[in-house]
Structure 1
């Protein structure tokens, strides 16, 4: 589908959140995907990824995940400076603030006539964690979580009992967990912990491990990018959302 792009500034309990919208040009109502970025916010690869998903018939929202900590429009570079700043932001923002961000986007989508009100979540890296986290919200029907960091380690700030491992028991959405087995950020032991926790929590999920590095979806920096695998994962994600959001 041909798509169009725009942005909206959504008010959250922790401040204004610039949110980029990708959606079909054709008139009508479409299901939505909240797409959570890496620590670098909306880079060119994230924008292209969101456009791919929108072109399959979805309204895609990309929030600035660290909106409280940066000027509107901040994009960090894929370099040491950007990585250091993004990681600092990651450890500065409590998980509960992402919950309120997510609820604000849900309410925005539910008020738009171009959205059916059926919503999923998708993300890469910390965004994979945030998609997982978003699924705690009862309005999120499915989540595609790609090489989600920091779930296993419980290193992100939050209140007691509010970490994502503990909150897994509250997830009613269907989860699709995608991992690279050569990802140093989520070692074998970490993946095994997340997998067992999903089983113990009675979650509805599928689990997929590939011979791939961290950030294998990112089409910038060819030392990690796996184009064929990326296409496979896009197709898997589209299939998940069509089945769960389009019925």
Structure 2
């Protein structure tokens, strides 16, 4: 399937315009389910762009918002280095939790009305984006969420003040939700993963849970932690989840 990856939209949010990049099938005569893909702390890097293109090629309209649009000029990409990581982590804890939620609501509403979108919606995310994809799935109308090595969920430290309520809100989750973790990920240790899973079980909601021998960011096809075999397995998981939930 041929795709287009040359479009973007500046979506209005309560904290200003949010540059959002669109990846979609090139066929202008059809509509497809929509996926909001939340990036890691570095925003729209080349690996995020390639992964978004890959998902779009499976028959989805993928919208990738800039998570730090209030703090960085549109088009800013942070580097995969210490300077980029320090800036990304600084902003992760500076941004208010409400602003993250407002952004998710805005991009979901926009995507539901986008010309090539059928109106059926899912979320997807990696690292910080895994947590944001989970929180975005609390929005009514989100049918599925794929959350990869979601940071700060177990510690409840996302956003300004490092005090989020994601764990407390899990009983509200209606979307078919999938969690994928790397056992060698130092950011989400065994105790943290167990805490999240216990809370999910107590909430009696539908979810999938996958753990593999992998590092943090094993999907990032750049750098020493990339695992191509797990990448392909992850793609199959996503395809199966979305095919089931977005029919």
Would you say how many aligned residue pairs link Structure 1 and Structure 2?
Answer: 245
Shift in alpha-carbon separation, 1:158–1:170, aligned structure 2, 3 A: farther
The two structures have a TM-score, normalised by structure 2, of: 0.96
In 1, the alpha carbon distance for the partners of 2:146 and 2:18 equals: 22
Change (3 A) 1:185 1:234: same
Structure 2 counterpart SS, 1:88: helix
Shift of 1:159: 8.6
Distance 1:135 1:85 in 2: 27
What residue is the counterpart of 1:16 in the other structure? 17
**1:92-171 aligned within 5 A:** 92-157=94-159, 163-171=165-173
Flag the 1:147–1:161 CA change in 2: closer, same or farther, 3 A.
closer
- Kindly report structure 1 stretches of 4+ aligned residues shifted beyond 2 Å: 157-162
Deviation per residue, 1:128-176 (Å, 9 max, x gap): 1111111111121100000000000111236999511111121110110
User: 1:191 is matched with which residue: 183, 193, 212?
Assistant: 193
Structure 1 position 236 matched with structure 2 position 237: yes
User: Structure 1: 5+ residue runs without aligned partners?
Assistant: none
CA contact (8 A) 2:21 2:64 kept: yes
Pairwise CA RMSD:
1.4
Structure-1-length-normalised TM-score:
0.96
Q: 1:124 to 1:29 in 2, by over 3 A?
A: same
